[in-house]
Chain A
C-alpha cells in the first residue's frame, strides 16, 4: 500500500470495496424466495418480497426482462388465432377479474387429445398430462411485487380495450413476446386519452 500514491491508492481502495461488495451481495445467497409464478423458483423456509440476490434486484429495477422468453412448448398464437379461437377460450377470467388465466395442460388436451396428435409438440403436451404434470409456461407479462401495482383486466375488457392494444398483434406471434413496453407512461397516455382516472390510487394500492 505504501508503494501507491494519490489516485492509484484511491482506485485500489475502490476496487477492493467493489470486490467485497460483490462477494457479499451477489455471491452469498439470501434467505429469500421470489413469489411463486415466476420462472426462477428457489425455495427456502421463508417467503419474502425481497429479491433473491442483488443482481435480480438490479435487473428488476432497470426493467431488464427477456422480451421473448423460451417456452417449454413451441406454441403458436398465429395458428390458433387463425382458426378463430377467441382469446378467452384459453385466457379465462380476463373479463371477470384481475387476472387472465394462463391455460393448463387440461385446456390444451381438451382439443389436442384428438387434433394433430402426431405432431412432436403435441406429443410433448400429451406426455406432460400423462405424467400428471402441468406445462411450466414462462410468464411473459408481469409486474414484479416491488412495483406495487394492481392491474385489473376486467374493467379494461369491459371498456372495450382490445387485447392487442397492450399485448400487440398476437396473430403475428408464435409464443408471446413483449413487443409493447407496458411502463407507466404507456398506461397514463391511454388513460389520459380515454379520459379515465389517472389518480395514483387507481392502480397503486
Chain B
C-alpha cells in the first residue's frame, strides 16, 4: 500500500467520522403526563418550614415548571413538574420576618441532591458494607409490620426504640404516641449540641424549660458569654434581625455588644469589645460583675431575687466574688469587671446572654445560673422573654443520657430518623457496639450516613419541601408560632413521608395503636391538632374550621398576638456554690483546651453533604472544602507551626489531623476546630473529607444534667507535615494557591 491508498483511507475515515456525529440520540425518553397544571415560565410561591436548625423559620418557595427525569411504574422517563428554584424567608413569619440564613438558603440542595435515596432498599451484604438492593414499598412495609407484630406478640414491645434528631410539631406527638401505646420507651432525641443545660437553667431561673428569646431591638447594651447568636446559636435569623435594629435601626441610639469567649466566634467578630475569659469560668466572671453591682447598689436588688437565690452567697452580696478574686480565676482584669458593671447599669436597657462553650463544661449549669442571675439584675426592659407555647412542653432531656440507655440495653428493633451518633457521639460511648447488638434497624432518612449505613432496611422519607411541614417555635418570637405548610412540590423519587408510613404501620399493628392514631394521612392529623387554635386570638380570624385550615396553609402557619410571659414563683432549691470545670487529660500531658465549635457552614455536621456549604468560605478563615485547626500565632511560633502546615491534635481518646490556621482570635493555650467535616460516609461531597473533632472528645458530662461537656477535653498539638499534605483551600488570598506550585503562602 502506498500514499494513494493511505490518503483514500484517511479521507474515508474522516468522512465516516463526520457522519457519525449525525446520529440521533441513543435513547428517547418517554414523557409522562404531568401530574399538575403549571404554566411554564411563571413562578408560584408556596410556604414551607425550614428544618435545618431548631429555630423553625418560615419559608417561601419559588416553584416553576421544569422537566425532570423520573421513574414511574418502573419506567424511566421525563415529566413536567413544579421544581423548587429558590428559598426566601416568609415576610409574615414572626420568627424570621422574610429573612433567611446561609444554611436555610442551602437546604434547597437537599431536595435535588444526587445521592438522595430514591427507593426503599434492603441490606444484602454485611452491615456497613453498603450493599443494598431496591425493594418495593409493599414488601418493605409488610416486613416491618411483621417485625413489629412479632415483637409485640412475644411480649417484647418494650424492646422497640426510636432514635431521631430532635423534631418539632406533630411529628413529636405522632412518634411519642406510637411508642407509648405500642408499649415501648419514649423516643430518644439525639443531637450532639443539645441545649439541655440551658433549658434546665432557664427552668430554675425563670420557670421556662426553653431556649430564651431576645428582643435585641430593645437593648442598649448586650453582654454575651460565649453564645454565637449571630451565627449558629438558638434562633440566629431572629437574633440577627434584632442585632441590625440594635445597631442602626434607631436613629441616635446605638447599642454596645460585649462578647466574652476564649475563641473569637462570628458573633465575637462583631462585638465592640471582645474579652477573653478562661474556659469554664464565665459564671464566675458574671458573678464578679454582679458583685460590683450589688456592692455599689447600681441596680435594684429585688429584680434578681428569684434568680439570685439559686447562687450561694447572693443574699450576702456575693462576698467570694470580689473583682480581685475573680480576676485571678478568669484572667479578666478587675478594672474591666468594674467598668462593665457600670456600663451595664448605666445603659437604657441591658441584657446578659449565655450559650455555646460556657455551657459545655462540667460546670455548665452553674455558669448558666450565674449569667441568668446577672441578666435579671440588669435587664430592665424585658429584652429577655420566652416564646409562648402551645401544647405541652417536653421535659428537659440530655441527648447523651438517652443515648446511654441505648448502649446499656440495646433494643431488639430500632427506628432511625436522621440522627447520626456514629459521627457525632464520642466513641467512648460505644454506640457502634450498641448498634451491632440490635438485630433489626430501620432507617427513614434520605441519605446514607455513618449511622444509617448500619440499617437493615431503608424507607426513605420525602424531602422537607415534598412534605407536610409543621413546627412550633421554641424561641425567637414574643408570639406563639405554629408553622404549617403543605408540600411545595410533588415527590421526585419513590419515597414516602415518614409520618404517613408510621400511621400505616400503626394500622397494620392494629389494636390500641391503630385506635390511638386513627388518621389515614399526616395532614389529617395536623388538621385535627391545629384547628382548635382557631378560637385563640391570633393571626387568623375566620368563622369555620375549614376556612382556618385553608388560611393557615396559605399564610404558612398561625401565630398568636404578642405577649410577655408573666413571672413565675421561685423554685425551692439549695443555692449552688461555684463549681470549677473539670477537664479530661492532665494539663502537663495535654497542654491545650480543645474547642470543637458548631460550624457556620455545616452546623453539627449534618449539612456537610451540601455543595453550596462546602464551597462557602468560612467567615473567619475563608476556608472551603477543608478542615482546619485554629492556633494562636505565638503558639505556632513556639511549636514551629506555619500557616497551612499539617498538625495533629491528640486527646486521651484519639487524634485527628488537619491544616493549621494561625489566628489571633484564640487564646495561646487553646486550639479550636470546626465541626462538620471528617465524614467517612456521607454522600460524594462530604465523604473522606477533612477530620472530625467530635471523634476525640472525652465523654465528660455536665454534672447535673448529664449533657455532653464538649468543651472539656484537653489535647496536645504537634506539627506532622507541610502544606502540601494538609491541603487547606482558602478563598481569601488563595488565588495563587494552586497546590502544585511551589509558592510559599
State which of B24-32, B224-232, B518-526 sits at the interface with chain A: B24-32
Contact, CB under 8 Å: A135 / B31: yes
Quick check: A19 and B41 within 8 Å, CB to CB?
Answer: no
A28-66: contact bitstring with B at CB < 8 Å (1 yes, 0 no)? 000000001101111101000000011110000000000
What is the CB-to-nearest-CB distance from A19 to chain B, in angstroms, rounded to a whole number? 5
The minimal Cβ–Cβ distance linking A88 to chain B, given in whole angstroms, is 11
Chain B, 1-16, CB within 8 A of any chain A CB? 2-3, 6-7, 10-11, 13-14
B67 within 8 A of A: yes
Please pick, from B21, B27, B40, the residue contacting A54 in the complex, using a CB distance under 8 A.
Answer: B21
Bound-state CA distance A42–B77 (Å) is 12
Question: Quick one: closest A residue to B10, CB to CB?
Answer: A15
User: Which A residues lie within 8 Å of B394 (CB)?
Assistant: none
Which A residues touch B20, using CB under 8 A? Answer: 26-27, 55
B2, B21, B39: the one within 8 Å of A56 (CB): B21
Residues on the B chain within 8 Å of A4, using CB? 3
Within the complex, the shortest CB–CB distance from B528 to chain A, in Å, comes to 34
Minimal beta-carbon separation of A76 from chain B (angstroms)? 22
Q: A19-B10, A22-B13, A40-B24 are in contact. Are A97 and B67 (CB under 8 A)?
A: no
Inter-chain contact A19/B42, CB cutoff 8 Å: no
| Pairwise interchain contact A41-B78, C-beta atoms closer than 8 A | yes
A41 to B39, CA, bound (A): 22
Identity of the chain A residue whose Cβ is nearest the Cβ of B29 in the assembled complex:
A41
Contact check, A104 vs B33: say whether CB atoms are below 8 A apart.
yes
**Nearest chain B residue, comparing its CB with the CB of A135:** B31
Instruction: Determine if A93 and B41 form an interchain contact, defined as CB atoms under 8 angstroms apart.
Output: yes
Determine the distance from Cα of A45 to Cα of B115 in the docked complex, in whole angstroms.
Answer: 11
In the complex, how many residues of chain A place their beta carbon closer than 8 angstroms to a beta carbon of chain B? 41
Are B3 and A26 in contact, with the CB atoms below 8 A? no
A55 and B39 contact, CB distance less than 8 A: no
A27-B17 in contact (CB<8A): yes
Please state if B27 and A42 are interface contacts (CB–CB under 8 Å). Answer: yes
The reply to whether the CB of B743 lies closer than 8 angstroms to some CB of chain A is no
Contact A36 B39 (CB under 8 A): no
Instruction: Mark each residue of chain A from 96 to 120: 1 if its CB lies under 8 Å from any CB of chain B, else 0.
Output: 1111010011100000000000000
User: Complex Cα distance A25/B114, Å?
Assistant: 28
Q: How far is the CB of B8 from chain A (nearest CB, A)?
A: 10
Nearest-neighbour CB distance to chain B for A34, whole angstroms, equals 9
Confirm or deny: A87 has a beta carbon within 8 angstroms of a beta carbon on chain B.
no
Is A16 interfacial (CB 8 A cutoff)? yes
A179 cross-chain contacts in B, Cβ below 8 A:
none
Q: What is the interface of chain B mostly: helix, strand, loop, or mixed? A: mixed
**Could you tell me if B33 and A129 are in contact, using CB atoms closer than 8 angstroms?**
yes
Decide if A19 touches B17 in the complex (CB within 8 Å). Answer: yes
Q: Which residues of A contact B18 (CB under 8 A)?
A: 22, 26, 55
CB nearest to B22 among chain A residues: A55
> Contact: A3 with B2, CB < 8 Å?
yes
Which residues of B27-83 are within 8 A (CB) of A?
27-34, 39-42, 66-69, 72-73, 77-80
* Given the contacts A15-B14, A41-B25, A42-B25, A96 and B30 also touching, CB distance less than 8 Å: no
Is the pair B31, A134 in contact by a Cβ cutoff of 8 Å?
Answer: yes
Say if the beta carbon of A187 comes within 8 Å of chain B.
Answer: no
- In the complex, what residues of B have CB within 8 A of residue A104's CB? 33-34, 80
Whole-angstrom distance between the alpha carbons of A16 and B41 in the complex?
48
Contact of A105 among B3, B30, B33, B42 (CB under 8 A): B33
A36–B67 CB distance below 8 A: yes
Q: How far is the CA of A135 from the CA of B80 in the complex (A)?
A: 12
CB nearest neighbor in A for B39: A93
Return A5 CB to nearest CB of chain B, in Å: 11
A32 to chain B, nearest CB (A): 12
Q: Please, how many angstroms separate the alpha-carbon atoms of A49 and B13 in the complex?
A: 29
The answer to whether A134 and B26 touch across the interface, beta carbons within 8 angstroms, is: no
A101 contacts B40, C-beta separation under 8 Å: yes
Contact (Cβ within 8 A) A55 B21: yes
Choose among A8, A97, A133 the residue that contacts B31 (Cβ–Cβ < 8 A).
A133
Output the least CB separation between B38 and chain A (Å).
Answer: 8
Cβ distance A13 to chain B, nearest Cβ, rounded Å: 11
* B residues near A19, Cβ cutoff 8 Å: 10, 13-14, 17
Q: Does A79 contact B (CB under 8 A)?
A: no
Interface residues of A in 178-202 (CB under 8 A from B): none
A132 at the interface (CB under 8 A from B): yes
Kindly state the separation between the CA atoms of A42 and B26 in the bound complex, as whole angstroms. 7
Instruction: Evaluate whether A15 and B27 lie within 8 angstroms (CB atoms) in the complex, with A8-B3, A22-B18 already known.
Output: no
CB <8 Å contact, B67 and A37 = yes
Q: Which residue in B2, B3, B33 is a CB contact (below 8 Å) of A134?
A: B33
A133 and B33 contact, Cβ closer than 8 Å, known pairs A3-B3, A92-B39? yes
A129 to B26, CA, bound (A): 25
Give Cα distance in the complex from A55 to B39, angstroms. Answer: 33
Q: A155 contacts the other chain (Cβ, under 8 Å)?
A: no
A12 near B: Cβ within 8 Å? yes
The answer, yes or no, to whether A23 is at the interface (CB within 8 Å) is yes
Contacts of B2 in A (CB 8 A): 3
Q: Which residues of B contact A132 (CB under 8 A)?
A: 32-33, 72-73
Q: In the complex, how many angstroms separate the beta carbon of A59 from the nearest chain B beta carbon?
A: 9
Which residues of chain B are within 8 angstroms of A18 by Cβ–Cβ distance?
10, 14
CB neighbours (8 Å) of B32 from chain A are: 132-134
Which of these, B7, B39, B73, contacts A12 with CB under 8 Å?
Answer: B7
A3-B3, A97-B41, A104-B80 known; A41 vs B27 contact (CB < 8 Å): yes
- Sample of 15 more A-B contacts, CB < 8 Å, known A15-B10, A42-B27: A3-B3, A4-B3, A18-B14, A19-B14, A22-B13, A23-B13, A26-B18, A36-B67, A55-B20, A55-B21, A97-B41, A104-B80, A133-B32, A133-B77, A135-B31
A to B CB contacts below 8 Å, 16 in the list: A15-B7, A18-B10, A19-B17, A27-B21, A36-B68, A40-B24, A41-B78, A43-B27, A53-B21, A96-B42, A97-B39, A101-B40, A132-B72, A133-B32, A133-B77, A134-B33
- Residues of B whose CB lies within 8 Å of any CB of A are 2-3, 6-7, 10-11, 13-14, 17-18, 20-22, 24-34, 39-42, 66-69, 72-73, 77-80, 114
